[in-house]
Amino acid sequence: MVRIAFVCIENAGRSQMAAAFARAHVPDGVEIVSGGTIPAGAVHPGVVEAMRERGIDLSDERPTKVGPEDLADCDVVITMGCSKDDVCPARFRGDARDWALPDPKGRPLEDVRRIRDEIEERVLRLLQEVAAAEGGSTGKLTDRPRRRAVVADAARRKGSGRRHARTRSSP
């Protein structure tokens, strides 16, 4: 099992989009973790709208806290431009990367769409890299999100009471 974490400060924009795209395209054997170091009260409205345009509903998602203990077993931790030092990357066993993306908070929808598209491209490249490194086929990655799985997963997580969102791929 490969664990990938998407982390930002508020878990209300970039990391939410990245985790949603990863869940939508996740190959078998990959677990997605998402959270923020200082979570906001809700996902940014512009992010919800931009993702809805792609058929992914984040309206029921809630930002969650993530700390070093949550990342300890991650193989890859992706921060979104908020400094990987904020999540203590030395305390987990994997690869730390900072994507240095602008925060969509309060930006016009056109800007949020550009950020969304950049995140989707990076997530797809990352998942292809992980699949190749694990000896898997990149054919497991779909060209279109598994929308029903995303909605069902969001509904499951909403009622789970977990500290942070985790998703396991399903066959």
**Which residue is catalytic, options 42, 49, 86, 88?**
88
Q: Report strand pairing: 76-79 vs 95-98.
A: parallel
CB-hemisphere CA count at 13 Å for 143?
0
Q: How long is the chain?
A: 171
Phi and psi angles of residue 57, each rounded to the nearest 5 degrees, phi first: -100, 110
Query: Is-contact 37 63, C-beta < 8 A?
Result: no
Query: Is-contact 36 12, C-beta < 8 A?
Result: yes
Q: How many CB atoms lie within 10 A of CB 93?
A: 10
**Which residue is catalytic, options 58, 82, 119, 130?**
82
The answer to whether residue 74 is catalytic is no
DSSP per-residue letters across 97-127: EE--PPP-TT--HHHHHHHHHHHHHHHHHHH
**Which residue is catalytic, options 4, 5, 7, 8?**
8
Alpha carbons 31 and 75: distance in angstroms, whole number: 10
The answer to whether residue 88 is catalytic is yes
The catalytic site residues sit at 8, 82, 88
